[in-house]
Copies of this chain bind each other. A is one copy, B any other.
Amino acid sequence: MNEFELIARLTRNLPSHPSVIAGPGDDCAVLDLGLPGRYLLFKTDAVVEGVHFLPETPAEKAGHKALARCLSDIAAMAGTPHSAVITLAAPAGYATARLEGFYAGLSETARRYEVAIVGGETTTNPERFLVSVAMVGTAPRDRWVSRTGAKPGDALFVTGELGGSILGKHLDFAPRLAEAQWLAEHFPLHAMIDLSDGLAGDLRHLMQAAGVGAELLARAIPISRAARLLAREPADAHPDRPAKRSPLQAALADGEDFELLFSLPAAEAVRLSDAWRSRFPKERLSCIGRITPEPGLRLRDHRGAVTLEAHGYTHFGDAGTDAGPG
């Protein structure tokens, strides 16, 4: 059983409530608590030493990553983060300086994105350092974006560049909060997700949520410099990674890009591309394909279209193929 199958089993028949607008299965839960004009967003995520960062990783970067992962999920709903609480689990005698470094990195990122750290819990995890972050935020009632609304004919866009996050980006990425809020304010987004399991994997989540398929244009996928560098390294340079892959394969399958993948009506594509260039001139936005009515994920290049089998990583019970450690 992989992570997704396990989650599906565990989340069957969970208690819900009429005020739950979106529950398990989206980037954040969406709750109607009676806040005028807004919904509450609620999310949890965790980082584990040796899985998402290494014992050698500077603690400040690990702290940044712990908070920024949640921020990326708030971004995926076009939300605004508000505050976070931290569960810190560590072995007895774990280096205090490292805990303080972790908190320093986490706090700096919290300050940058105006997130209050409002509480925490420390407990013993005898073998390793693990931190779980829970975050609340808000989103306008009429302008939050779920994973579920992709429609056949939609254009598919992705921010930034993909692949090779293990070489460093997974520790210092900037969650796309401003971009997501701007997108939702100016364009009728149908569906959005942040890329944590790899483009192909997360696109499958969008497809499954809406019962649609997708076709990607190989030439349009923005491949990162890191993905190209990785492809040039000897096959055994990263023994914890799967078999050597091309830069395109890395961009399709590598986890922890933390970019935004979204769909909107194709008629908006040109207006979006123009407006984006004015508003975010230094950041890339790529139209990488379209949503199709028939199911399945296809990749089109100059030779034609091929169907992609399952890509992306499963985290649970499969630590070695997580994008971290790096």
Contacts and interface: CB of A to CB of B under 8 A. Distances in A.
Contact of A85 (B42, B107, B114): B42
B10 A44 contact: no
Contacts of A160: none
A35 interface: yes
A93 B9 CA distance: 15
Contact of A118 (B24, B50, B318): B24
A36 interface: yes
A28 interface: yes
A126 B48 CA distance: 9
A124 B315 contact: yes
Band of interface residues on A: 35 or more
A144 to B, nearest CB: 14
A34 B39 CA distance: 11
A137 B3 CA distance: 29
Nearest to A88: B10
Interface in A95-132: 96, 99-100, 103, 107, 110-111, 114-128, 130, 132
Interface stretch (A11-19, A169-177, A238-246): A11-19
A86 interface: yes
B23 A126 contact: no
A7 interface: yes
Interface in A108-166: 110-111, 114-128, 130, 132, 134, 136, 138
A255 B34 CA distance: 37
B125 A45 contact: no
Contacts of A319: 92, 124, 126
A83 interface: yes
Interface string A307-326: 00000000111110010000
A51 B123 contact: yes
B20 A116 contact: yes
A291 B166 CA distance: 56
Contacts of A51: 123-124, 126
Contacts of A124: 48, 51, 315-319, 322
A90 B51 CA distance: 12
A10 B95 CA distance: 13
A99 B44 contact: no
Interface of A: 1, 3, 6-7, 9-11, 13-17, 19-20, 23-24, 26, 28-29, 31, 33-36, 38, 40, 42-48, 50-52, 82-83, 85-94, 96, 99-100, 103, 107, 110-111, 114-128, 130, 132, 134, 136, 138, 315-319, 322
